[in-house]
């Protein structure tokens, strides 16, 4: 059965702005919350680890669906690190929450995936919208879900991704409730950063994506309520990869748990 993880913890005992300190706190079990409010000046990413026999097909699937699945890094087979992203990174322990799929079914959601890791796994770290949220805020865009200590909601759409080999599935999107002015500003800003999903796929029209009710989010979490004067703005989301894992029905696949991302040492751009 899936565990429920808290958004944050009171009085953290580590430097929340330091990605290496954040990873150590996650690895030691001192920080167990969502990562959207830590290491804000650094790139975060989605994790997908697949058997080596399927790694090239998954990479092609990502490159065929780049808005949802922009590749930040790929590991060597069996390696639990990607040195280009962080020198001390342990992909099996440093997100603080994992989803282990076996034959397409979610088998467990451990905090540490070391016991499930295999020597033939190839890991991919994919761009995450947590990265562009810090950029949006730096340019004056109000993100109410962060003000309220929440995360952005996700939704499964009716849009198909481009299939490759065993990988296919519907596009997953994340949603932010924005004023019309902020929606325009966020669209222009995020379009500059395709490594973090780029521009929105839809603005103000959930029905355009087949989303019938904002209250029914993918995974059951995130800000789903709009205030008067707010528009729902939707970006492609890396959770699309989890849909592909279910459909591929691989013997083993490991991904991050919702909102528990890979924290890297790559600095976000300042412009």
pLDDT, residue 6, reads 43
Do 185 and 211 fall into the same domain? yes
- What is the tally of structural domains in the chain? 2
Residue 148 covered by a domain: yes
Do 103 and 48 fall into the same domain? yes
Do 236 and 197 fall into the same domain? yes
The CATH number of the domain where 50 resides is what? 3.40.1640.10
User: Which residues in the chain belong to E strands, given as ranges?
Assistant: 42-51, 71-74, 98-102, 105-108, 121-127, 153-160, 170-178, 202-203, 231-236, 253-256, 262-267
Do 136 and 176 fall into the same domain? yes
Residue 150 covered by a domain: yes
Residue 3 covered by a domain: no
The CATH number of the domain where 200 resides is what? 3.30.2040.10
Do 219 and 181 fall into the same domain? yes
pLDDT, residue 270, reads 76
Residue 76 covered by a domain: yes
Do 120 and 137 fall into the same domain? no
How far is residue 154's CA from residue 218's CA, in Å, rounded to a whole number? 5
Do 56 and 102 fall into the same domain? yes
Lookup: tokens for 104: 């397409």
Residue 203 covered by a domain: yes
How far is residue 105's CA from residue 251's CA, in Å, rounded to a whole number? 9
Do 95 and 138 fall into the same domain? no
pLDDT, residue 82, reads 98
Do 173 and 193 fall into the same domain? yes
pLDDT, residue 1, reads 29
C-alpha distances (whole Å) from 271 to each of 43, 88, 136, 192, 209 are: 15, 28, 11, 10, 31
* Mean per-residue pLDDT pooled into runs of 10, the chain (271 residues): 41 88 95 91 97 98 98 97 96 96 96 97 96 92 93 96 98 97 97 96 97 92 94 97 95 95 94 68
Do 226 and 261 fall into the same domain? no
- Domain with 168, as residue range(s), is 130-240
Beta-strand pair 253-256/42-51: antiparallel
Do 52 and 91 fall into the same domain? yes
Residue 5 covered by a domain: no
Are the C-beta atoms of residues 33 and 97 closer than 8 Å to each other?
Answer: no
Residue 152 covered by a domain: yes
Do 51 and 179 fall into the same domain? no
Beta-strand pair 231-236/98-102: unpaired
pLDDT, residue 12, reads 75
Residue 183 covered by a domain: yes
pLDDT, residue 75, reads 98
pLDDT, residue 13, reads 84
pLDDT, residue 3, reads 38
């Amino acid at each position: 059965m899936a565990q429920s993880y808290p958004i944050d913890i009171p009085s953290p005992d580590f430097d929340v702005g330091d990605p290496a300190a954040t990873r150590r706190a996650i690895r030691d079990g001192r920080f167990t919350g969502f990562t959207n409010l830590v290491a804000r000046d650094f790139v975060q990413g989605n994790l997908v680890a697949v058997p080596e026999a399927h790694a090239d097909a998954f990479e092609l699937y990502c490159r065929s669906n780049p808005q949802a699945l922009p590749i930040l890094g790929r590991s060597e087979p069996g390696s639990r690190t990607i040195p280009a992203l962080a020198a001390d990174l342990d992909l099996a322990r440093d997100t603080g929450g994992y989803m282990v799929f076996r034959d397409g079914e979610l088998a467990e959601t451990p905090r540490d995936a070391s016991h499930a890791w295999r020597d033939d796994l190839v890991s991919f770290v994919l761009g995450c919208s947590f990265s562009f949220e810090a950029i949006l805020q730096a340019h004056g865009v109000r993100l109410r879900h962060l003000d309220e200590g929440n995360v952005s909601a996700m939704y499964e759409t009716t849009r198909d991704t481009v299939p490759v080999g065993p990988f296919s599935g519907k596009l997953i999107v994340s949603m932010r409730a924005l004023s019309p002015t902020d929606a325009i500003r966020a669209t222009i800003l995020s379009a500059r950063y395709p490594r973090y999903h780029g521009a929105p796929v839809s603005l103000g029209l959930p029905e355009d994506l087949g989303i019938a009710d904002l209250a029914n989010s993918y995974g059951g979490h995130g800000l789903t309520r709009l205030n008067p004067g707010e528009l729902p703005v939707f970006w492609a989301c890396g959770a699309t990869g989890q849909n592909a894992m279910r459909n591929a029905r691989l013997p083993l696949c490991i991904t991050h748990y919702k909102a528990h991302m890979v924290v890297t040492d790559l600095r976000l751009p300042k412009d």
